[in-house]
Amino acid sequence: MVSGGQNLRLLREKLGLTMRDIETASDRIAHQKQNEEYLIPISRLSDFETKGVIPSIYRLYSLAVIYRSDFRQLLCWYGVDLNIPISDLEVASPPRSHLSQALVNAKKVEMPVRLDPGFDSRQTLNFGRMVEQWGTVPLLYLEQFSKVNYTYGYIGSEDLTMYPILPPGSFIQVDESRNKVLEGGWRSEYERPIYFVETREGHTCCWCTMGREETILQSHPLSPVAPRVVKNSQTEIVGQVVGVAMRLGEWRSVADSASAPKERGALT
């Protein structure tokens, strides 16, 4: 693998620049910026190219200008990608709500560009299986949909099983490694694990209680959908819901939804 210093040297030689040229040009930049940190002496440039010394942000800027290169690209040569992935943002959780600028410069993400013709927005389904082609598009936050560690579900417009926590039309992220039902240990309904379940009748999201031979598919108390009891042999716990993208302000009221066909709402 070519190192950052080797890339700098190859780029300089490709442009026909000498080390003296770099020193002279960076000296001009330092004078313009009135900051000597932008200056790159020949000895320091040699350290960058041959000894693995990492340039400061000021000197890397000078190199980007002199080499007519994208500053982002030079940073990538040293393992710093300014297109911050969603996974990196999960390492810290600031206690206060805030407007995040972390992804404003992200250039592209992977998202589905062609779905299976059988996609039915009324039914809850395994969204990952419905994607026929992924494509690169300039949209944010949908990057997670291309990760192979998860599968994704869509809550059908007629599935009110976990309403109002998971309203119809929501997209969910499912961790398939968490396919064992947990018993107790939560302090509220928001901490209780919600599972993405596949039965012979289709998919649904619900709370689960496992018995020796049967599984109780528990709906939310405010939902018009009644709990169901199914045989373990006819049930697959796909995984636990770990993320959700939902639309706010357009939820159907429980009173209105009560008139919907119950067999569809319960996926029976």
Percent residues over pLDDT 90 in the chain: 48
pLDDT, position 136? 46
Nearest by Cα to 119 from 159, 153, 166: 153
Residue of 136 and 196 predicted with greater confidence: 196
Token pair listed for 219: 């709906």
Query: At 63, is the pLDDT very low, low, confident or very high (cuts 50, 70, 90)?
Result: very high
Three-state secondary structure string covering the chain: CCCHHHHHHHHHHHCCCCHHHHHHHHHHHHHHHCCHHHCCCHHHHHHHHHCCCCCCHHHHHHHHHHCCCCHHHHHHHCCCCCCCCHHHHCCCCCCCCCCCCCCCCCCCEEEEEEECCCCCCCCCEEHHHHEEEEEEECCCCHHHHHCCCEEEEECCCCCCCCCCCCCCCCEEEEECCCCCCCCCCCCCCCCCCCEEEEECCEEEEEEEEECCCEEEEECCCCCCCCCEEEEHHHEEEEEEEEEEECCCCCCCCHHHHCCCCHHHHCCC
- Inform me whether the pLDDT recorded for 232 exceeds 50: yes
pLDDT, position 138? 42
Domain edges within the chain: 4-77, 109-265
pLDDT, position 170? 85
pLDDT, position 37? 96
What are the tens digits of pLDDT across the range 125-149? 676 665 555 554 444 445 554 555 7
Listed ranges 86-100, 104-118, 151-165; the one with the highest mean pLDDT = 151-165
Task: Compute the C-alpha angle 14/20/26, nearest 5°.
Answer: 90
What predicted TM-score, i.e. pTM, was given to this entire model?
A: 0.50
Q: Is the dihedral of CA 155, 157, 159, 165 positive or negative?
A: positive
pLDDT, position 119? 63
Mean pLDDT, residues 54-78: 93
pLDDT, position 261? 41
- Inform me whether the pLDDT recorded for 184 exceeds 90: no
Q: Chain-wide mean pLDDT for the chain?
A: 80
Residue of 108 and 261 predicted with greater confidence: 108
Match domain 109-265 to its CATH number in 3.30.1240.10, 2.10.109.10, 3.50.50.60, 3.40.140.10. Answer: 2.10.109.10
Instruction: Kindly report the number of other CB atoms within 10 A of residue 219's CB atom.
Output: 22
What are the tens digits of pLDDT across the range 105-116? 555 555 555 666
CATH superfamily for 4-77 is: lambda repressor-like DNA-binding domains (1.10.260.40)
Which amino acid is it at 108?
K
Residue of 233 and 257 predicted with greater confidence: 233
| Residue 164, preceding peptide bond in cis (omega within 30° of 0) | yes
- Strands of 125-126's sheet in order across: 125-126, 150-154, 171-175, 235-245, 195-199, 202-210, 214-218, 228-231
Mean pLDDT, residues 63-86: 87
Q: How many residues does the chain have?
A: 268
- Inform me whether the pLDDT recorded for 211 exceeds 80: yes
Task: Compute the C-alpha angle 63/34/6, nearest 5°.
Answer: 15
